[in-house]
Amino acid sequence: LRDAITATRNFAGITGKLSCADKGTDKGDCATGEALAVFQISGEDVASEDAFPPDVVWTPTSGTETIATEEPITLRVMVMGNARVEDFATNEFTQYREEQTGIKIDWEVVPSGAGPEKLALALASGDLPDIFLQMSIQPATQSVYGGQGLFQPLNGLIEEYGVHTKAMFETSPQIKPLITTPEGIIYGLPKHNECFHCYYSQKAWINTVWLDKLGLDMPQTTEDLVDVLTAFKEQDPNGNGIADEIPLVAATKGWNTNIDGFLMQPFVYSEQFNHRYMVLEDGVIDDAVTQDGWREGLRYLNRLFELGLYGEESFTQGNTDVRALTENPDANLVGLGIAGAMGAISQMDGELGRWLEFRPLAPLEGPTGRRETIYNPYSTKHGECVISATSEHTVEAFKWCDGMLSLDNTMRAILGRPDIDWKWSDEGETSISGGQAVWTRVLSFGDVQNYHWAQTGPSYRSFDFRSAESAIDPEENSEVILWNETVEKMQPYARDIGQILPPLTFSEAASAEYVDLNLAITDYVLEMEAAFALGTEDINDDDAWAEYVATMEGLGMDRYVELHQEAYDQQWKGKH
């Protein structure tokens, strides 16, 4: 109800646009601010002659409540840079939020990929912003620095001021335990996105134009893929008479663009989201990266490299580099790209239409018959708004973050301007899930722009919301394509949810140990993965492999697994 009321803001009425700007006066469409409001009425209120008007629990002032302050406030916000946002300082949604809340923002934009380093430097210096936004601060890191008094616990603020946070908890009750430490503390607000195709986002996108030109079928096995990529390399599928085709590309920066997600999966469970490199089997956790299957997967990556089917840049480049290859004006140069969606490797709705040339593969069958889709139904991204305990404006900072979870701000932050970038759907318009559509995308997502924040910061999108997007223009609607391709190719091979390790939170005592182990182990795995795949270390040398496994043990892999098992047993055993 409150979101529907909010959506009437700026509606073109007979005498002008609806506005709640005059709250507190006898003017404006909201009059006193309680003409359009949500009230909390109890049985005692009904029985009492003195209980009216009842308590107002929400009013639609500028979409959310204005954050009242005695003096003008400027909040310092450290935000992770977003390649799709031209300038946070001048962004139209930023201006909207400043008008909405009365709070100005002093931005410190962190270069993409430099988040952990910048976060560590800020925490070490003690010179903290009021808000860490989109820094994706993991639960263990929250516990460590929260325990040191650097992050503000949010429990009391949520209870007193968290209108939208509490509404989110009520609608999606699984979120609260996912962001709560074992000590019962919440340090950060999440980005929650119940996105069907995102549940199966470890995908690989193949150039169907090339397949058709060469008369090739979609590869179904790891051997099929070798044959197809070899044909891409040797048979000039882009037709320019130059041997410039790159059969396979991956990237270290981008949504699931890393090479060890989709391509390791036919050999060993290779999750890339909640707890990378961990495997859950019947309640028992182990690591994946010292297993025989991991070694076989590395052999496969090395074989592809030795055949010249991908280059070493797949271990260093970002997805913007890949996009430059697919959008090459003379000819598409890419045969297969590893990514969560086609927009991660090509320009969505670009003039060349290259993104429409790609479709996802079904999971490949490995040499042992293993064929499985990585499935991640846990849609909560942690630490999207974390407030510094040193801030002089913790209440205002929290209200500002809480307001981001409203429908109005979620739509504007992610999609942009109402009736320009998106609109409410017409009656009879079909949704991507086959029902009545609720909202329609007008302009494409993915271009560099200055109207919205391109999914930066906390937001809340339920499954009903995501699946109610209009299926207008289905042949060129990315969400329709993603939905249908996922249903057809990914969902049938999904891993059972009982065998998926859920997001875990660690106690304050365990978190410090976890953070150190996680950094050392992850760095070493990535280093050796590149070395074995590119042949600087011989994956077929038993001594080299034994040394790798011994080093992992020396780094504390057994203890790392044990920390996960302890947290799982405490939080999830027998519950999923």
Domains of the chain and CATH, by start: 1-63 (no CATH), 73-195+380-416+427-474 (3.40.190.10)
- In the predicted structure, residue 134 carries a pLDDT above the cut 60: yes
Report the C-alpha gap between 225 and 204 in whole angstroms.
11
Whole-number pLDDT of residue 559: 98
Sheet containing 380-387: order of strands: 103-110, 73-80, 131-133, 380-387, 188-193, 459-461
**192-204 burial, b for 16+ CB within 10 Å, e for fewer?**
bbbbbbbbbbbbb
DSSP strands (E only) in 468-531: none
Interval 391-412 mean pLDDT: 96
Whole-number pLDDT of residue 287: 97
pLDDT digits (tens, 9 = 90+) for 157-186: 999 999 999 999 999 999 999 999 999 999
DSSP state of 573: T
Q: Are 410 and 78 in contact (CB under 8 A)?
A: no
Q: Are 336 and 216 in contact (CB under 8 A)?
A: no
Judged on CB neighbours under 10 Å (0-12, 13-18, 19+), 491 is middle
Helix (H) or strand (E) holding 192: strand 188-193
Whole-number pLDDT of residue 194: 93
With a CB cutoff of 8 Å and minimum separation 6, the contacts of 479 are 197, 432, 441, 469, 471
Q: Are 465 and 3 in contact (CB under 8 A)?
A: no
Report the C-alpha gap between 367 and 356 in whole angstroms.
31
Whole-number pLDDT of residue 45: 73
Q: Are 382 and 115 in contact (CB under 8 A)?
A: no
With a CB cutoff of 8 Å and minimum separation 6, the contacts of 556 are 517, 520, 521
Q: Residues of the chain with pLDDT > 90: what percent?
A: 80
Whole-number pLDDT of residue 378: 87
Report the C-alpha gap between 355 and 348 in whole angstroms.
6
Whole-number pLDDT of residue 188: 97
Interval 18-32 mean pLDDT: 46
What are 57's two structure tokens? 């629990």
Q: Are 404 and 457 in contact (CB under 8 A)?
A: yes
Before 418, cis peptide (omega within 30)?
no
pLDDT digits (tens, 9 = 90+) for 453-469: 999 999 999 999 999 99
Whole-number pLDDT of residue 22: 42
pLDDT digits (tens, 9 = 90+) for 505-561: 998 889 999 999 999 999 999 999 999 999 999 999 999 999 999 999 999 999 999
Q: Where are the alpha helices (DSSP H) in 172-291?
A: 175-178, 208-214, 222-234
SS (H, E, C) 12-58: ECCCCECCCCCCCCCCCCCCCCCCCCEEECCHHHHHCCCCCCCEEEE
**154-184 burial, b for 16+ CB within 10 Å, e for fewer?**
beebbeebbbbbebbbeebeebbebbbbbee
Whole-number pLDDT of residue 158: 97
Whole-number pLDDT of residue 68: 63
Between residues 287 and 40, the one the model is more confident about? 287
3-state helix, strand, coil in the chain (%, to 5): 40, 15, 45
DSSP state of 449: B
Q: Which of 50-59, 292-301, 470-479 has the weakest average pLDDT? A: 50-59
Residue 574's pLDDT band (cuts 50, 70, 90): confident
Q: Which of 8-12, 183-187, 323-327, 333-337 has the weakest average pLDDT? A: 8-12
Closest among 100, 96, 122 to 391, alpha carbons compared: 122
Judged on CB neighbours under 10 Å (0-12, 13-18, 19+), 46 is exposed
Residue 44's pLDDT band (cuts 50, 70, 90): confident
Helix (H) or strand (E) holding 440: strand 439-441
Look at the chain and count its residues: 576
Whole-number pLDDT of residue 25: 40
- In the predicted structure, residue 64 carries a pLDDT above the cut 60: no
DSSP state of 172: S
Whole-number pLDDT of residue 36: 58
- In the predicted structure, residue 244 carries a pLDDT above the cut 90: yes
* Packing angle, helices 163-171 and 394-403, rounded to 10: 40
Interval 241-250 mean pLDDT: 97
* Residue 559, SS3 per DSSP: helix
Whole-number pLDDT of residue 274: 81
Whole-number pLDDT of residue 547: 98
Judged on CB neighbours under 10 Å (0-12, 13-18, 19+), 189 is buried
Write down the residue that tokens 């410039």 correspond to.
Answer: 244
Whole-number pLDDT of residue 35: 53
Whole-number pLDDT of residue 79: 98
Residue 28's pLDDT band (cuts 50, 70, 90): very low
- Taking all residues of the chain, what is their mean pLDDT, rounded to a whole number? 90
- In the predicted structure, residue 495 carries a pLDDT above the cut 90: yes
Interval 215-238 mean pLDDT: 98
- In the predicted structure, residue 32 carries a pLDDT above the cut 90: no
Write down the residue that tokens 């620095």 correspond to.
Answer: 145
- In the predicted structure, residue 21 carries a pLDDT above the cut 50: no
Residue 56's pLDDT band (cuts 50, 70, 90): low
Whole-number pLDDT of residue 24: 40
Report the C-alpha gap between 279 and 412 in whole angstroms.
38
What are 351's two structure tokens? 């003039």
Sign of dihedral through CA atoms 257, 259, 261, 263?
positive
Report the C-alpha gap between 398 and 416 in whole angstroms.
23
Interval 396-424 mean pLDDT: 95
Whole-number pLDDT of residue 575: 79
Q: Residues of the chain with pLDDT > 70: what percent?
A: 90
